[in-house]
Structure 1
Amino acid sequence: MWKFIVRRILITIPQIILLSVLIFMLAQAMPGDALSGLVDPNVSLEQKNALREKLGLNDPWYQKYGEWASGLVQGDLGQSFRFKMPVSELIEQRMINTFWLSLATLIITYIIAIPLGILSGRYNDSILDSSITGYTYIGFATPLFIFGLVMLWVFGYQLQWFPTSGSVTPGLEPGTFEYVLSKAQHLLLPAISMALIQTVSTVQYLRSEIVDTKQKEFIITARAKGASESRVYNKHILRNSLLPIAAFFGYEITFLIGGTVFVEMIFGFPGMGQLFIESILLRDYSVVNAVVLIFGIAAILGALLSDIILSLVDPRIRIK
């Protein structure tokens, strides 16, 4: 088991290095540079070139990458040209909001998905199963950004059950009950919106596992021995069907990355996704590089976590 984990981690390291190179090269290929729009249009070309030279923007790409990668190792993500502050401090402020949004989304996703998947799998080919399957088909076909806008319009503007933007009501003192309650209110609508779309894959996956497990030989044998239906279902079918869902958890992290970008922009939620879009529009390359790298590492680590969990569930996939 430990041999498999070590090998899997060793594979992850070059993936992260390659990811950092690709991110840096793509950022360099974007039109303009970090100086674009910062200087007066009337400034002469010679002065602009001198400033670019001073900031190191004219250095070869490999030299700039080496300096950037060296800073990453030391925890220095660079300086934001637009926000006038270290990128690490800027990301720390936004990452906290994205973390709580992602955690709330995961919790709501599993609260909805597991009961629906169990009911759909246990009573497959029934009216209940058809209703749940219909919901998943609609979820698969509905773009998240469209669904988010509808949720915002209905529950934010029409019913006014939730705030329509921000992460907390301005003026509240951090640590107070009112502050925590306001954070929860601002968090719920974007989390529910993302969870209702993200839950459909888990429902379908769990349903398929239960339906497939019910047809296996050891289930038929258990019934032939006279085991009650509730015992067969709870001890054999459900237990074996839920284990792969644990392995699916790591990939849920990857799915969240794309979702937070759309949801945070739609709901005006100040997190990593919103920061990512703002930095692209403002050509703040140091922030773009750092955010994309963090998203990429999260996706790689999510896949690593899923592989490790799956190896615990099914030892047959371990590398010998």
Structure 2
Amino acid sequence: MWKFIVRRLVITFPQIILLSVLVFIMAQMMPGDALSGMIDPNIDPAAIEKQRENLGLNDPWHERYVDWVGGLLQGDLGESFRFKMEVTELVEQRLINSFWLGVATLFFTYLIAIPLGIISGRWNDTWGDQLITGYTYIGFATPLFIFALVMLWVFGFQLQWFPTGGSVEPGLTPGSFDYVWSKFQHLLLPALSLALIATVNTVQYLRSEIVDTKQKDFIITARAKGASESRVYNRHIFRNSLLPIAAFFGFEITGLIGGTVFVEQIFGYPGMGLLFMESILLRDYTVVIAVVLLFGIASILGALISDIILSLVDPRIRIK
């Protein structure tokens, strides 16, 4: 097992290095720079060019990449031109919000998907199964940003059950009960919006696993031996059907990354996704590179987690 994990880690490191190179090059290919667009046109162009020279924006990309990697190895991601603060500190502030949004989304995803998948699979081809399957088809066809906008309009503006922006009510003391409760309230609607769409894959996959497992020989044998229906489902069908779901936990993390970009933008939730969009619009390349690199590393680690869990579930896939 440990040999498998070590080999997967060895494969992961070149992927991260290649990712960093690609991200840096693509960021340099974007039009303009941090001094474009928001500079007073009355400023002397020579002064602007001198500032570009001082910031190293005119250096060849490979020299800037080496400098950036050198700072990265020391925990220095550079300084944001627009937010006027260290990128490390800026990312740390937003990363906490995105982390809790991801945790809440995964919690709601499995809380909704597992019961629906079990009901749909156990009583397949019934009215209940058709309703659940219809929900998943609608979920597959509905774009996330449209669904999030509808959720915000209905539950935020019309019913006013949830806050419509931000991550906490201003003026509250950090650590107090009111502060924690406000954070939870601001988190709930974005997490539910993302989970209700993300859950459809898990529901369909779990339903298919249960329907397929019900027809296997060892289930027929268990019934032939006189095992009760509840024992057959609880000890054999459900157990074997849920194991592959656990193996794809890491890929759920990867899927959340793209979703949070839209959800945080729509709800004005100050996380990594919103920071990413703001930095692109402001041409703050230092922040863009750091955020995309973190997203990429999270995707790679998500795939690694899935491989490790899958190797625990099915030892046949382990590398000898």
User: Matched residue of 1:79: which SS?
Assistant: coil
Write the deviation string for residues 234-271 of structure 1: whole angstroms up to 9, x where unpaired.
11111111111111110010111011110011111111
Shift of residue 38, structure 1, vs aligned partner:
4.9
2:285 aligns with: 285
The letter for the 2-side match of 1:51 is Q
Shift of residue 125, structure 1, vs aligned partner:
1.1
Which residues in structure 2 correspond to 1:164-183 (within 5 Å)? 164-183=164-183
2:74 aligns with: 74
User: Matched residue of 2:243: which SS?
Assistant: helix
Comparing 173-182 with 35-44, greater Cα deviation is found at 35-44
1:137 aligns with: 137
TM-score (norm 2): 0.98
Which residues in structure 2 correspond to 1:1-320 (within 5 Å)? 1-320=1-320
TM-score (norm 1): 0.98
Partners of 1:283 and 1:127 in 2: CA distance: 52
Partners of 1:175 and 1:318 in 2: CA distance: 45
Shift of residue 230, structure 1, vs aligned partner:
1.1
Structure 1 gap ranges (5+): none
Shift of residue 97, structure 1, vs aligned partner:
0.8
The letter for the 1-side match of 2:317 is I
User: Matched residue of 2:182: which SS?
Assistant: helix
Partners of 2:88 and 2:37 in 1: CA distance: 23
Partners of 1:102 and 1:28 in 2: CA distance: 30
User: Matched residue of 2:32: which SS?
Assistant: coil
Structure 2 gap ranges (5+): none
Shift of residue 47, structure 1, vs aligned partner:
2.5
The letter for the 1-side match of 2:267 is F
Shift of residue 94, structure 1, vs aligned partner:
0.7
Partners of 1:35 and 1:186 in 2: CA distance: 34
Shift of residue 78, structure 1, vs aligned partner:
0.4
Shift of residue 222, structure 1, vs aligned partner:
1.1
How many corresponding residue pairs? 320
Shift of residue 45, structure 1, vs aligned partner:
3.2
The letter for the 2-side match of 1:247 is A
User: Matched residue of 1:85: which SS?
Assistant: coil
Partners of 1:303 and 1:161 in 2: CA distance: 37
User: Matched residue of 2:268: which SS?
Assistant: coil
Partners of 2:161 and 2:167 in 1: CA distance: 15
Partners of 2:186 and 2:39 in 1: CA distance: 37
| Percent identity between the two aligned chains | 77
